[in-house]
Amino acid sequence: MTAVAELMDYAEVVERFDPVLGLEVHVELSTNTKMFCGCVNEFGGEPNTKTCPTCLGLPGSLPAVNGKAVEGAIRIGLALNCEIAEWCRFARKNYFYPDMPKNFQTSQYDEPIAFDGYLDVTLDDGEVVRVEIERAHMEEDTGKSLHIGGATGRIHGAEHSLLDYNRAGVPLIEIVTKPITGTGERAPEVARAYVTALRDLLRALDVSDVRMDQGSLRCDANVSLMAKDATEFGTRTETKNVNSLRSVERAVRYEMTRQAAILAEGGSIRQETRHFQEADGTTSSGRAKETAEDYRYFPEPDLVPIAPSREWVEELRATLPEMPSERRKRIQEEWKLSDEALRDLLNVGAVDLVAATVEAGATPDEARGWWVNTLAQEANTREVELTELAITPAQVAEVIGLVSSGELTNKLAKEVVQGVLAGEGSPREVVEKRGLKVVSDDSALLTAVDEALAAQPDIADKIRGGKVAAAGAIVGAVMKATKGQADAKRVRELIIERVGS
């Protein structure tokens, strides 16, 4: 049984130490084929059915560079304000691991395609932090190991392992930051905000589906601590393959509290990889971390260098879409949002969803209300990202339209949304299946009004006496009788007419 790590209170951590972060984000590109062969590039499928001699590393097979992947790498570099290399090449990163069939990974080492960039990141309160980018380089993804038996799903304690090479050779861009310093207690928040901003940027570029749940976007979080009076960085750990935005923040925070407790007791930090445990937000030891020398990098002899012309680079620059930060500024002006309202949208990750809902016919205020309030609460309850909810912007716009036309009340609309989230079909299909249409037939409403007035004659007398506010009790009774499917405004009008007649 693994011993529970000693932790230091977070407030004490930031009082005694300065955190240093380094974030490595791996992005799978959405090309049609793999990086160095013609195998189809798509998620899932029967194991080992999307392979060929090249991505299986069989003797005699030769790689060829995917031009679309190079194009995607350059566009990512440009969007990150990087310099684009005039000449670069691939290298062999040598290591033995079962999911790498060649026993080396074709990557880039000292000659990346993009370098020296930055990404400005907005925190929850509006503060902007500039994260400097060291490099963005091209490589190929590995296969996938599945460890059978044991309690953790990892190799330790497993009875045997299975290997699926469908993912081997998928185009991958690794984006590496320079050391992120000076963030203090906000270091975990900065880490989450950076990965969020990077995901939004990559989605805008349309180079990846950035599905963290499927591994299309993965973050390795390097964390170290240095005493307040220190001049050199501390020893770092690297928490591998963190696959949600919330987990990035939790992993950084946990490592800070764990490392601080060790250092406070006079211990030393082991340079190692660590695994994040989603269940309890902890990290566990992996393996000693290799250095660049351990990988014995050398130029890949089977691939020619990449030398993008300046003309081509500028052509690709012209294809860049409106960047998320620029889009947010434009949207704020067009929708007349306060800084606070915009932050609310950003904090729940709803900007793109609201924009798509507006494009589908809703007003900005209506769309924002549904996504920031009702649907954000649903996502929080289900512990998923807002984008993972089983409802589309077009469906939300349809619900809003049904309310605007008077076919649904807000209360009924929320029931319809629940039906859509439960997989019962489109909003109109849910309305029909659940019988949720507003009762708009005046004769039916009058019957309910008469029954409510007869049941509460004292309330009717008050209304006749000029106390119109008392009509609320009759409205409530009618709404109850019609199971919330009456138009409350029309009910009130009929009550006043009935009492006055």
pLDDT at 307 over 60: yes
pLDDT band per the 50, 70, 90 thresholds, residue 266: very high
pLDDT value of residue 71: 98
pLDDT value of residue 148: 86
In terms of pLDDT, which residue wins out, 314 or 290? 314
Place of tokens 């006079």: 266
What is the tens place of the pLDDT at every residue in 2-27? 455 789 999 999 999 999 999 999 99
pLDDT band per the 50, 70, 90 thresholds, residue 487: low
27-41, 281-295, 384-398, range with the lowest pLDDT: 281-295
In terms of pLDDT, which residue wins out, 95 or 179? 179
pLDDT value of residue 478: 67
| Spatial contact of 37 and 55, defined as CB atoms under 8 Å apart | yes
pLDDT value of residue 295: 82
User: Which of the four CATH numbers 1.10.1740, 1.10.10, 1.10.357, 1.10.760 does domain 442-500 have?
Assistant: 1.10.10
Cβ neighbours for 193, distance < 8 A, ≥ 6 positions apart: 121, 122, 123, 124, 129
Taking residues 227-255, report their average pLDDT: 94
pLDDT at 123 over 80: yes
| Displacement of CA 68 from its chain's centroid (Å) | 25
User: Which pTM does this prediction carry?
Assistant: 0.79
64-73, 96-105, 358-367, 394-403, range with the lowest pLDDT: 96-105
What is the tens place of the pLDDT at every residue in 42-53? 998 999 999 999
Strand order in the sheet with 104-107: 104-107, 91-94, 298-299
What is the tens place of the pLDDT at every residue in 178-218? 999 999 999 999 999 999 999 999 999 999 999 988 889 99
pLDDT at 260 over 90: yes
30-44, 256-270, 320-334, range with the lowest pLDDT: 320-334
pLDDT value of residue 437: 66
pLDDT value of residue 198: 96
Domains in the chain: boundaries: 10-312, 322-434, 442-500
pLDDT value of residue 96: 83
pLDDT value of residue 388: 87
34-38, 115-119, 300-304, 483-487, range with the lowest pLDDT: 483-487
Name residue 275's beta-bridge partners: 240, 284
For residue 182, with 0-12 CB atoms within 10 Å meaning exposed, 13-18 middle and 19 or more buried, which class applies? exposed
Q: What whole-number distance in Å separates Cα of residue 65 and Cα of residue 411?
A: 56
Which of 481, 408, 484, 413 lies closest to 446, judged by CA? 481
**What is the helix (H) or strand (E) element at residue 115, kind and residue range?**
strand 114-122
- Tabulate helix, strand, coil % of the chain (nearest 5): 40, 20, 40
36-45, 160-169, 187-196, 381-390, range with the lowest pLDDT: 381-390
pLDDT at 109 over 70: yes
Which of 455, 431, 445 lies closest to 496, judged by CA? 445
pLDDT band per the 50, 70, 90 thresholds, residue 440: low
pLDDT value of residue 2: 44
pLDDT value of residue 287: 79
Tokens matching residue 81: 């304000």
pLDDT averaged over every residue in the chain? 89
Q: What whole-number distance in Å separates Cα of residue 200 and Cα of residue 10?
A: 29
pLDDT at 465 over 80: no
Taking residues 44-71, report their average pLDDT: 95
pLDDT band per the 50, 70, 90 thresholds, residue 1: very low
pLDDT band per the 50, 70, 90 thresholds, residue 273: very high
21-35, 52-66, 398-412, 472-486, range with the lowest pLDDT: 472-486
Taking residues 335-362, report their average pLDDT: 89
